[in-house]
Amino acid sequence: MVKADKNLKKLTLVMLSYNRQLYALRNMRFWSGKEVFLHVIDGTSYPIDNNDLLIFSDNIFYHHIPLSCQERLGYAVQFLATDYVALIGDDEFFLETSLLASINELENDHTLVACMGLAIGFQYNSSDNSIIASSIYESLKDHSIQSEDPCQRMIDHMSQYICSTIYSVVRREVWIRAFQANINYEFPIFAIGELQFELSVVYFGKSKIIPYLHWLRSFENPSISNSEDISLSRNNQFHEWWLAPEKNDFREDFINHTLLPLLDAKTNENEKIKIKSAIKKAMDNYSNLCTNNLKKNNITNSSKSIFKSITPFKYLWGIMRKIKEKIYLIFDFNKFQKDKITLRKMCQQLSDQGIYVKIDEIDRVESSIRCFYEKSEK
């Protein structure tokens, strides 16, 4: 059972939004008047009209910063004043009950630095005004990184990688330091900030997933992947660069940039060498995991490299990536349509499995989503 809502005052939600201002406004309406602080950092070229912001309570903060994701993260660390921080997507929902339970876990166990519950996906079905759901990230259930050795935690986490901390409730100082490598230097690799964050968080302490519904991941929009941010382009994948014989400089630079925020005044040279070795081993294992997963799907790095090395196909490869993203979005939507499980029914299934779900919170989420689409159809 969670404690009083006052603990939510210890939490700041950080939302990096880009070209989804209507969804950001939906989220601001959802959190307005609640105990948490929400900072929306909008990278869209034009700001939200000030008249649309006047209705929100003083726990909502809007910042128009038309810069890269990396630069907006650097901006965000300036105003973080609460004990805990969580990153949230602009079109997605977190549930207060799980946020509170995660905070309480962190309050009661100081070896933990990150905690969150489970996730499900959702989509709006305009044909009957229903909200349908799908099971996602099932490997999160019972997941934890608990080794006493920080280097071993990095190796363990990246060897069987599950994205389990970037949307967690995280201690503020850890959240800031874990993003510092990406803030200091941005590599042209897709989602490299996530990898550096996940690697760093588990170095600083233990993490766990609790049996609460926490995150409602939206499948309403395609992923943001073609903006000007070099780390949001899918053209360069981490494992391809890491394993390429000609990328020695990249590997060394990645290790050094990721290492620096992990060090403090007490770190001696032997410990520094140990941490560097652990980062290398962790990312070796992660890259091998990626290639093994690709091989299971009959896709090899060598075939892709040969294809991409043929000059006439370089541009075609970029077009194919864009088409693939569209197909994925259609596939995700069709998966929802095929299953036809309502969000309420999915929540009941989770409850039957011992996952805590507070139905009146789901009611508020459904109301927010329906209201959003009813307004957009007018």
Report pLDDT for 300: 47
Tell whether 49 is covered by a domain: yes
Tell whether 273 is covered by a domain: no
Query: Across the chain, which distance is largest between two alpha carbons, in Å?
Result: 65
Measured distance CA(53)–CA(25) in Å, rounded:
8
Helices (H) and strands (E) in the chain, counts: 13, 11
Report pLDDT for 313: 46
The rounded Cα 279 to chain-centroid distance in angstroms is: 21
Q: Which tens digits make up the pLDDT trace of 113-157? A: 999 999 999 999 988 899 999 999 999 999 999 999 999 999 999
Report pLDDT for 1: 45
Report pLDDT for 244: 96
> In this structure, what CATH number is given to the domain that contains residue 349?
3.90.550.10
The total number of structural domains in the chain stands at 1
Tell whether 238 is covered by a domain: no
Give the closest residue to 195 by CA, choosing from 151, 147, 162. 162
Res. 375 pLDDT band, cuts 50 70 90: confident
Give the closest residue to 200 by CA, choosing from 182, 216, 213, 214. 182
Q: What are phi and psi of 109, to 5 degrees?
A: -135, 100
Q: State yes or no: pLDDT of 4 exceeds 70.
A: no
Tell whether 101 is covered by a domain: yes
Report pLDDT for 6: 83
Tell whether 219 is covered by a domain: yes
Tell whether 237 is covered by a domain: no
Q: Which tens digits make up the pLDDT trace of 21-30? A: 999 999 999 9
**What integer best gives the mean pLDDT of the chain?**
89
Could you give the residue ranges of the DSSP H alpha helices within the chain? 21-31, 69-76, 96-108, 150-159, 172-184, 192-204, 238-243, 248-259, 269-296, 301-309, 311-339, 343-352, 359-376
Measured distance CA(205)–CA(113) in Å, rounded:
5
Report pLDDT for 339: 63
Domain span holding position 69 = 5-232+333-376
Q: Which tens digits make up the pLDDT trace of 63-97? A: 999 999 999 999 999 999 999 999 999 999 999 99
Measured distance CA(108)–CA(74) in Å, rounded:
30
Tell whether 34 is covered by a domain: yes
Could you give the angle at the alpha carbon of 166 between the alpha carbons of 76 and 8, nearest 5°?
70
Mean pLDDT over 40-56 rounds to 97
Which residue in this structure is represented by tokens 């602009």? 90
Tell whether 306 is covered by a domain: no
Measured distance CA(197)–CA(177) in Å, rounded:
9
